[in-house]
Amino acid sequence: MGETMTDTALDRETRILRFLEHVHPYDSLRREVLTRVAGVFLERLAGPGETIYSIGDPAEGLWLIEHGTVEITDDAGAPVSILHGRNSFGERGLQREGRSLTNARATEETRLLLLPADEFNELLKTSPAFARFFDRGRGTAREQRVELATQKISDLMVRTPVTVNAGTTIRAAAERMRDTRVSCLAVVDAEDRLEGIVTLRDMATKAVAQGLGGDTPVSEIMTADPVSLAPSALGTDLLHTMLERKVGHVPVTEDGRLVGILTQTDLTRFQAVSSASMVSGIVGAQSAREMAEVTAGLPQLLAHLVGAGNRHEVVTRLITDIADAVTRRLLALAEERLGAPPVDYLWLACGSQGRQEQTGVSDQDNCLILDDAATPDDMEYFRRLATFVSDGLDTCGYFHCPGDMMATNPRWCQPLAIWQRYFRGWINKPDPEAQMLASVMFDLRPIGGAKHLFENLQGETLAAAHRNSIFVGHMIMNSLKHVPPLGLFRGFATVRSGEHKNELDMKMNGVVPVVDLARIYALQGELTQVNTRARLEAAEAMGTISHSGAQDLIDAYDLIAETRLRRQAEEIRAGRKPDNFMPPSDLSDFERSHLRDAFVVVRTMQSAVGQGKGVLG
């Protein structure tokens, strides 16, 4: 009996060891350390919907997902992240008083590994790479200095790539990829010298598409002598290689021998960990000042995400997620201080946060919708709640709105019935103020509280706006106030005076005209999407805008938005505060030409809408 148990234990340790060999940061550990660590992991199976731990539970150790999915939520029940295989969680609880700071729940059949707390702490002390990976939760100076572009490849790469030899059959190689859950195999000789690389794409486009037999050697489909990098190369070399060569897998070699590999998945994991760790730090914070320590790293996160080649909608979504987490945490802290709310309420964001389009330059725009049961006496509670949250946001770098478009303004902290009256009034009497307010409030998005307070309001308002052609016409005319910066003779119309004279305003004359157009399409099609790009895609799907018109406008918007973000990232790396202005001279002739073409597309679409011709013909 004892012999069977020993064999089973050895099989278990071998399985865990093989798994850890392909999980960062465990793959950075010395072999003897990794072997020992594999033997101390505990296992747990969690069924769909099963709670792994709740806020306040003792932090047992560091969790690692072998396979399955885990949802992490904050104390308000709002999602913090969805984690899959090879993701770790629970480290913030170990680092903060030994108590869990979030809730963790399996959403499907999930196998988990648990590294006990004492082993976790020992690795933090003895392994610098392991410590670097987990010492990032509170926006420390160390974390803020870490950027992908300046990281050494040796710190990023997977050190135990899965390999085969040139004679391995396609069938065996495919089975190896399936069993190890990797997207590529390195082909090496007997001395580990790199000969080629085989990817899932090769399997599909070469092996399957060409009908090659399973006994065909992988040498027939591999990319021979692939481009590789040295361990001493920097992240920027990796990014340039991937972009220029259009490859998603880059081997790392030293003196011709394979020592590691990097994939786009590794980059995504590196990026996601940074934003997720900031959210984790926010969830565990006990004050706005603690959260401000985390959000101080936002500029570097933006530069990091842009430098890694992420699309603008990914960058702004991740940046906005952090603002959402700050807001929800402040709401929870406010309730702890003030007590339970007297009636249901809903905190909503508008502006760039509402559209999930925040960049490195954002103030706050928000409001409160209260249950109609709220009494005049209840308003003092919500005044204090709004002040606490708004001041907390300001502390965290989301500055008070200059136009007072905040829940601290009594006008924007009202029962649902008053909000319904507001929207009816704006739609029925679309004077200039109504047009301006409607433009802002049509971008509302619930952040925390009772979401049912908004569901009917949004649907009713969109339907009423759609039926009122006069209101839509006024909104169209209001949207045309912001025009692309097109000058004469294929030039740009730059700012004429002041601090930013001769520069382009990439916000008001760049992205805002597209934001306004997308809002018009949303009104015309009664679309519930708030994000600009999502609105354009939904408008195309519904037929509000033609396929060619939508694609042209989306492409133009992508170029304008990404140019704006690249400029902000450059400012951050230069140690300057980012803004929305850019000298045209900073662009190459090629970039200027394409940017101007993008502005022309936007102006053409504005003209079509302004003339009442639509964009379907």
Q: What is the per-residue DSSP string for 325-350?
A: HHHHHHHHHHHHHH-S-SS-EEEEE-
Q: Are residues 183 and 110 in the same domain?
A: no
Domain assignment present for residue 46? The answer is: yes
| DSSP per-residue letters across 54-117 | -TTSB--EEEEEEES-EEEE-TTS-EEEEE-TT-EE-HHHHHTTTB--SEEEESSSEEEEEEEH
Burial group, residue 230, by CB count within 10 angstroms (0-12, 13-18, 19+) = middle
Confidence at residue 616, expressed as pLDDT on a 0 to 100 scale: 40
Give the per-residue pLDDT at 268.
Answer: 62
User: Is the model's pLDDT at 275 over the cut of 60?
Assistant: yes
Asked whether residue 173 falls in the same domain as residue 230, the answer is: yes
355 pLDDT band (50/70/90 cuts)? very high
SS3 sequence, 377-393?
Answer: HHHHHHHHHHHHHHHHH
Least confident of 95-99, 143-147, 152-156, 276-280: 143-147
Domain assignment present for residue 141? The answer is no
pLDDT in tens, 373-432: 999 999 999 999 999 999 999 999 999 999 899 999 999 999 999 999 999 999 998 888
Residue 276 is assigned to a structural domain of this protein: no
In the listed set 215, 235, 266, which residue is the last one of a domain according to the structure? 266
Same domain for 461 and 484? no
> What is the average pLDDT across 360-371?
92
Query: Per-residue pLDDT for 135 more than 70?
Result: no
Which residues pair with residue 46 across a beta bridge?
A: 110
Tell me the CA distances in angstroms from 612 to 85, 145, 472, one per residue in order: 52, 51, 11
**Residue 85 forms part of a structural domain:** yes
Residue range 331-350, pLDDT digits in tens: 999 999 999 999 999 999 99
614 against 59, higher pLDDT: 59
User: What is the total count of domains within the chain?
Assistant: 4
Q: Which pLDDT score is estimated for 80?
A: 60
Whether residue 277 lies inside any domain: the answer is: no
Same domain, 180 and 327: no
Shared domain for 464 and 490, answered yes or no, is no
Mean residue pLDDT across the chain: 86
pTM comes to 0.62
In this structure, the answer to whether residues 217 and 184 fall within a common structural domain is yes
Give the side-chain half-sphere CA count within 13 A for 232.
2
The region that residue 329 occupies, defined by phi over 0 for left and psi between -120 and 50 for alpha, beta otherwise, is: alpha
Asked if pLDDT for residue 146 goes beyond 80, the answer is no
Q: What is the DSSP annotation of 463-527? A: HHHHH-HHHHHHHHHHHTTS---B-STT-B----SSTTTT-EETIIIIIHHHHHHHHHHHHHHT-
Same domain membership, residue 601 and residue 496 = yes
> What pLDDT digit, counting tens, does each position of 44-87 carry?
999 999 999 998 888 899 999 988 888 887 666 655 666 777 78
Say if residue 204 is in the same domain as residue 330: no
CATH code at position 347: 3.30.460.10
Q: Which residue has the higher pLDDT, 215 or 100?
A: 215
Do 260 and 354 belong together in one domain? no
Claim to verify: residue 420 and residue 316 sit in the same structural domain: yes
Percent of residues, the chain, with pLDDT higher than 70: 90
Which residues in 229-365 belong to E strands, given as ranges?
249-254, 257-263, 345-349
Whether 188 and 116 share a structural domain? no
CATH number of the domain bearing residue 549: 1.20.120
Whether 179 is covered by a domain: the verdict is yes
252 and 231 Cβ atoms separated by less than 8 Å:
yes
163-183 pLDDT tens trace: 999 999 999 999 999 998 888
Domain finish residue from 454, 477, 500: 477
> Which residue segment(s) compose the domain that 24 sits in?
2-135
Q: Distances in Å between the alpha carbon of 167 and those of 102, 195, 261, 322, 541?
A: 49, 12, 21, 49, 49
pLDDT digits (tens, 9 = 90+) for 493-526: 999 999 999 999 999 999 999 999 999 999 888 9
pLDDT band at 228, cuts 50/70/90?
very high
Query: Do 450 and 503 have their domain in common?
Result: no
167-181 in b/e form (b: 16+ CB < 10 A) is ebebeebbebbeeee
Residue where one domain finishes, among candidates 421, 451, 477: 477
- Structural domain contains residue 606: yes
